[in-house]
Amino acid sequence: MTSVAESDYRSQLLPKIQQAMSEKRFKHVLGVEKAAVQLAEKYGASVEKASIAALTHDYAKERSDQEFIQQINKGNYPQELLNYGNYIWHGLVGADFVQQELAINNQEILQAIRLHTTGAAEMSLLDKIIYVADYIEAGRDFPIVEQAREIAQVDLDQAVAFETQQVLLYLISSKKLIYPKTLETYNRWVVNL
């Protein structure tokens, strides 16, 4: 695909993303795209895939619980997924809506969307880029984000580890239910099991 065709594809995708979410979330999505493209250039991933995965990663975030529950029951998902909520569903199950409604069938992109919240023990370069870009995009302003940004420019695996540890610290300190995949990510990337 030429760069002209790429930007053509992007400009057709953009309004579909925008209409699916608030202005604030759309700004976040554009921030993630910028961060993901920079990381893709730096670490040698496909810039086009990074762009599309970033633009679509939170596409389903504003769907109702009812829509997710319906999709979980329809699809090949374990029933225990129903114990969780939008925070887990919007990526893992939301990728189905991206595929169905935006006709994105690239499995690498769909996997990066599915894993963007929890990470996984096994992550591709694109998975890591989207996971980290979501955390460090320019609109994020939590206290340790600057440290996360610096690490991301030095070592992407270390950035995955740093983010995962911080997320786990937050989840535990606020007594949140932890999705097993989040723990698998911790064991692999933080503990180096």
Residue ranges in contact with ligand DGI by CB under 6 A: 28, 58, 61, 87, 91, 116-118, 134, 167, 171, 176-179, 182
Burial of residue 158, with CB atoms counted within 10 A of its CB: 0-12 exposed, 13-18 middle, 19 or more buried: middle
Burial 64-99 (b: 16+ CB within 10 A, else e): eeeebeebbeeeebeeebeebebebbbbbbbbbbbb
Q: Is the CB of 61 or the CB of 63 nearer to ligand DGI?
A: 61
Q: Which partner, Fe ion, ligand DGI, none, binds residue 171 by CB below 5 to 8 Å per kind?
A: ligand DGI
Instruction: Determine the 3-state secondary structure of 144 from DSSP.
Output: coil
| Residue 147 Cβ vs Fe ion, minimum distance, rounded to whole Å | 19
Q: Let me know how long the chain is.
A: 193
Q: Which of ligand DGI, Fe ion, none is residue 109 near (CB under 5 to 8 Å by kind)?
A: none
Q: Are 114 and 141 in contact (CB under 8 A)?
A: no
Which of ligand DGI, Fe ion, none sits in contact with 111, Cβ below 5 to 8 A by type? Answer: none
Q: Could you tell me the smallest distance in angstroms from the CB atom of residue 167 to ligand DGI?
A: 5
- Provide the minimum distance between the beta carbon of 132 and Fe ion in the complex, in angstroms, as a whole number: 11
Name 140's Cβ contacts closer than 8 Å, sequence gap at least 6.
31
Tell me whether residue 28 or residue 49 sits nearer to ligand DGI (CB atom). Answer: 28
Smallest gap from Cβ 153 to ligand DGI, in A, equals 20
